[in-house]
Amino acid sequence: MLLVDVDGPLNPYAAKPTRRPDGYLTHRLSTPRWQAAERRRPAAWGMPYERLRPLRVWLNPDHGPALATLPFDLVWATTWEEEANDYVAPVLGLPPLPFIAWSSPRPEPGDGVFWKTPEVVAWAEGRAFAWVDDDITEADRRWVGAHHDGPALLHRVDPRTGLTAGDFGVLEEWAAGLGREAGPARVPGAGLIRALPGPRAG
């Protein structure tokens, strides 16, 4: 399985607002979760209600085919939850995917461990998985190593660039390693992956 976050890996939100990364298109999305959060924010701060603004999202249409060609079953691991199927998947040309429904309130594992990490491990139930997210740290890798029985790759993606050819290469190599242990694996299409942009300096 490949667990995919949206904000960071697919939407490079940390890039300079005035410089959209190469290959990305701008989308203005107003999802129910975004609307609810925007309505709560003024009330929490004691501010008057203002007209809701859509969320600016940068998406690269090449990411959909590249993800679909990898030898993984894709799963959303994003706070967008089912809304990733409604708003992100169609833009990328992906079918509706399974998604992790996060607990509320969010867990607090402590020791610098990302709140998603225990949820991901519980959802995987010992199955091999790769996970791409911009909040992954060594603390999460240690936690997964201590609490997950199967193979796992926790790969941090730079939220300034989103997924790059280098990131796809890491995923390919890890999947190939699993394939050598378990038998022949489906070979992904390298042409799609090479077409993706590399990391930008700065």
140-183 pLDDT, tens per residue? 999 999 999 999 999 999 999 999 999 999 999 999 999 776 54
Domain assignment present for 34: no
Q: How far apart are the first and last CA of the chain?
A: 32
Domain assignment present for 200: no
Q: By residue range, what is the domain housing residue 101?
A: 2-17+61-194
For 48-196, strand residue ranges (E) read 55-59, 74-76, 129-133, 152-156
- Which tens digits make up the pLDDT trace of 116-133? 999 999 999 999 999 999
Domain assignment present for 40: no
Strand partners, 75: 3
Domain assignment present for 98: yes
Domain assignment present for 153: yes
pTM score, whole prediction: 0.83
Domain assignment present for 164: yes
Q: For the chain, what is the domain count?
A: 1
Containing 30, the helix (H) or strand (E) segment is: none
